[in-house]
Amino acid sequence: MRKNDVYWWSDAPLIALPPKPVPAAADVVIVGAGYTGLAAAIRLARAGRSVQVFDRQRPGEGASTRNGGITSGNLRPGHAELAKRFGEDRAAAILAEAKAAREDLYRFIAEERIDCDFALTGRFSGASAPGDYDRLARDAEALNRTFGIEAYAVPRGEQRSVLGTDFYHGGVVRMDIGGLHPAKFHAGLLRLALAAGAAVHGETPVQAIRSEGDGHEVATARGTIRAHDVIVGVNGYADASDRWLRRRLVPVRSRMIATAPLSANLMGELMPRRMMCSETRRLHYYYRPSPDGERILFGGRDGTIAGDPDWPTENLRRALVDIFPVLDGAEITHSWYGHVAMNRDMVPRIFSRRGLRYAAGYCGSGVVWARWAGEKAAKQILGEESGRSALDFRPPRAVPLFAGKAWFMPAVFAWLTLQDRLARRKSSRAS
């Protein structure tokens, strides 16, 4: 197995752009060349603004070329929790925006002709406990009723028509979620940003931003640039150059593994409808077929914060085999990880501080949210009415005792793993 080898990069390698001089001034500087930064750049450059994008790695080397490509647009808190925290109207607006953001992504991919293997396959969510099935079924009904989304429950007895496992206590399918090739999608955004006239500087960290008067002085590793506006789209890769942000976004490792190609028969048995998959465990796993339908790509939280030990890969492999026992012994060819960003209330957000605009906190669901929030941030700079968003919030609160290194993650990971094991034991005793 090749470790820290991103499966997606074999089809869509990272692009190292030739270094360009950093100009003295621009209308807008964007920090981060993932989905957030590039979506903002496309919008602004098309509106005639001069745009300079900086990334400390190669463009896309953050999460945007490493993810599962599942177009979930998930929100961690459900409707009731959102309503409790933000009021009924705001909760309804946030949920409506999730639907709009998903649909807008599909429109964008089609209209911009982004070749990224997108397929609206539907997504199956497996109930890890019998009680979860009832809740999922009620949620599916509500999705139908409120948003007209095609969603339906699949009882355990019919589960194998959707997913070749008896691991779950049934589940639900929703047809508004699909999958894309994340690195090809990123390459498409990069192409559009460059074509619109934005300059993208890879391997050029932003080291400090000083706001003064009606602008900002942005110090980069290759020169200082003045900008009227700045958008920060660094999500799980916030670094010490912005200590304030770093105390608000918790980077969590998410890891994926890829099986070697499986026979067409076996894939047909395990994933007959080629759907994206998720589940209700607290430390949930997400998985999907590769776009060519030959492999299973399987992901989950990693639980480490330093180095690259082997156990998270083995952990994932075992979780895969729990769901599909027939894969015990199947070769794992790739294993890689990236960072997602959590914030205290687990809702993606667009916010401002000292004239800088931030879009972040997608909590592992940025394929839909990051592009959407980046574009919203750009529209806000352009003064467009459609830039308003239900994700416009105050900055996230700082996380107590946290200054950028998620030292508590291993303990959180162990605790959630234990909870899931106990819940599983309880539900298998009951059934």
Binding site for ligand FAD (CB under 6 A): 31-37, 54-57, 61-64, 66-70, 72, 205-206, 233-237, 239, 241, 254, 256, 286, 299, 337-340, 362, 364-368, 370
For the CB of residue 365, give the shortest distance to ligand FAD in the complex, in Å. 4
Provide the minimum distance between the beta carbon of 242 and ligand FAD in the complex, in angstroms, as a whole number.
7
The C-alpha angle 232, 235, 239, rounded to 5 degrees, equals: 80
Judged by beta carbon, residue 126 or residue 137, the one nearer ligand FAD is 126
Angle at 166 between CA 161 and CA 170, to 5 degrees: 65
The answer to whether 74 touches 364, Cβ cutoff 8 Å, is yes
Q: Report the DSSP pairing between strands 199-201 and 25-31.
A: unpaired
Q: Which is nearer to ligand FAD, 85 or 243 (CB)?
A: 243
Complex with ligand FAD: residue 129 or 172, whichever CB lies closer: 172
Taking the least distance from each CB to ligand FAD, the nearer of 53 and 172 is 53
Nearer to ligand FAD, 129 or 231 (CB): 231
Rounded Cα distance between 60 and 34, Å, is: 5
Contacts of 107 (CB under 8 A, 6+ apart): none
In the complex, least distance from residue 229 CB atom to ligand FAD, rounded to whole angstroms: 16
Residue nearest ligand FAD by beta-carbon distance = 366
Residue placing its CB nearer to ligand FAD in the complex, 70 or 172: 70
Pick 22 or 33: Cβ nearer ligand FAD? 33
239: Cα separation from own chain's centroid:
19
Question: Please, what's the b/e burial string for 386-397 (b: 16 or more CB within 10 A of its CB; e: otherwise)?
Answer: ebebbbebeebe
Task: Name the minimum Å distance from CB 374 to ligand FAD.
Answer: 7
CA of 424: how far to CAs of 46, 76, 104, 331, 427, in Å? Answer: 52, 21, 38, 27, 5
Name the residue nearer to ligand FAD (CB basis): 235 or 259: 235
| Whether the Cβ atoms of residue 323 and residue 165 lie closer than 8 Å to each other | yes
Nearest-approach distance from CB 83 to ligand FAD, in angstroms: 23
- The strand ranges marked E within 250-318 are 250-259, 276-279, 286-289, 296-301
Could you tell me the smallest distance in angstroms from the CB atom of residue 383 to ligand FAD? 23
Closest CB 241 distance from ligand FAD, rounded Å: 4
In angstroms, the CA 164 to CA 136 distance is: 19
**Residue 182 identity:** P
The amino acid that residue 397 corresponds to is R
CB of 168 to ligand FAD, least distance (A): 19
Q: Is residue 360 within 8 Å of residue 249, measured between CB atoms? A: yes
